[in-house]
């Protein structure tokens, strides 16, 4: 990390990086229950989330399947009564009386797949998703302990998060996923890397991504008759403009090299046109995907340098590194994401041979620079 970077606050860094991107819609945001047309036949809808990350963008694309005019929905939000009520407004204000023809889910996280079952049942349509994320979502919605509970508590204890209060709270979060995704459609249309298909007048190509979700699918379209030379990327969570995507290691794959997978994945977006309009799942539509890929590489290299420096001073658990990578107060929910991300950075350096891992007599993993 450069001295200049160290002197800047996190907010100042974010503002500086954001200034290097272009936001064609400026500060404009969709009103609740309404949409904004961002390209021909492509509408932006914004739905609230009860988290620190307080919204998700979903995308409505004019479509035609087997001669029937309608819409494709990309991502859904969590299953809560207030979210369903907002969707009812969207049906009236945006769909123009036409049906939904398919539901695409970029990945299996609750804010993306939560209402897929409701939308698919309501309109009698198929959910499109990667095979891996379909399977993991089905298991998570049915498992007695999903993305929380005793397995998560035990995993975080191995990485130093051992205080009794936090451990008890983690064990109590056994139904976290199911509370937001009560069920998942019984069947799906599988999307795979390199697949292409038509939505309306546009041809879209699937781009797989890893490290954030098991098998995230972004969609890229080079052009169509209505938007000559306007390429569009539905980036999901793999390409966000202001915040960095959470890249974590968790108990279901405790020795994953998630950060390496993520960095390799975002390099795929370098093949997109330089003027691509990127439609992210969080934040505002932007132009500058190549710049953003480089920013994310730089961000993670800076974090890796901080982690390596800490482990050169002493052997560190992930919990020891928490105040190094995250200098603001975090609640329990945020700390689970932070711990997962710290383990991802430690594992990246461990797999590179720059750190050595050892299990102490206290049953905590610590990492020391080689």
Rounded to an integer, the average pLDDT of 189-202 is 96
Domain that holds residue 157: 3-369
pLDDT-based confidence at 1, cuts 50/70/90? very low
Q: How many structural domains comprise the chain?
A: 1
pLDDT-based confidence at 19, cuts 50/70/90? confident
Please, is 68 exposed, middle or buried when counting C-beta atoms within 10 Å of its C-beta (0-12, 13-18, 19+)? exposed
Give one word for 353, left, alpha or beta, with left for phi > 0 and alpha for psi -120 to 50.
left
Write out pLDDT tens, residues 322-345: 999 999 999 999 999 999 999 999
Whole-Å CA distances, 267 to 127, 198, 281:
27, 25, 19
Write out pLDDT tens, residues 215-255: 999 999 997 555 545 899 999 999 999 999 999 999 999 99
The enclosing domain of 226 has a CATH number of 3.60.15.10
Rg, Å, the chain Cα set: 21
Residues 57 and 77: their CA atoms lie apart, in Å, by 8
């Amino acid at each position: 990390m450069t001295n200049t970077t160290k002197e800047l606050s996190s907010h100042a860094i974010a503002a500086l990086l954001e200034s290097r991107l272009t936001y064609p819609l400026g500060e404009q945001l969709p009103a609740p229950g309404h949409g904004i047309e961002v390209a021909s036949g492509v509408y932006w809808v914004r739905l609230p989330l009860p988290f620190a990350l307080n919204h998700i963008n979903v995308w409505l694309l004019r479509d035609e399947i087997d001669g029937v005019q309608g819409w494709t929905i990309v991502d859904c939000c969590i299953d809560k009564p207030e979210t369903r009520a907002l969707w009812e407004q969207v049906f009236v204000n945006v769909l123009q009386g036409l049906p939904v023809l398919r539901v695409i889910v970029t990945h299996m996280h609750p804010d993306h797949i939560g209402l897929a079952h409701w939308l698919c049942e309501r309109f009698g349509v198929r959910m499109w998703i990667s095979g891996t994320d379909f399977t993991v979502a089905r298991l998570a919605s049915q498992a007695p302990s999903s993305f929380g509970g005793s397995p998560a508590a035990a995993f975080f204890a191995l990485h130093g998060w051992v205080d009794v209060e936090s451990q008890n709270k983690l064990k109590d979060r056994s139904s976290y996923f199911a509370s937001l995704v009560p069920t998942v459609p019984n069947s799906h249309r599988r999307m795979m890397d390199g697949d292409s298909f038509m939505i309306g007048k546009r041809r879209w190509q699937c781009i797989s991504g890893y490290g954030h979700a098991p098998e995230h699918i972004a969609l890229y379209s080079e052009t169509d008759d209505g938007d000559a030379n306007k390429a569009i990327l539905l980036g999901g969570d793999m390409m966000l403009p202001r915040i960095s995507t959470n890249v974590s290691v968790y108990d279901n794959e405790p020795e994953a090299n998630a950060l390496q997978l993520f960095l390799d994945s975002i390099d795929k977006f370098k093949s997109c046109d330089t003027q691509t309009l990127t439609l992210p799942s969080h934040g505002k539509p932007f132009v500058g995907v190549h710049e953003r890929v480089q920013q994310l590489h730089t961000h993670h290299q800076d974090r890796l340098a901080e982690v390596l420096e800490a482990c050169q001073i002493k052997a560190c658990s992930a919990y020891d590194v928490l105040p190094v990578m995250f200098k603001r107060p975090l609640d329990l929910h945020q700390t689970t994401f932070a711990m997962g991300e710290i383990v991802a950075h430690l594992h990246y350096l461990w797999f590179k041979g720059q750190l050595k891992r050892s299990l102490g007599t206290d049953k905590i993993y610590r990492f020391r620079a080689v």
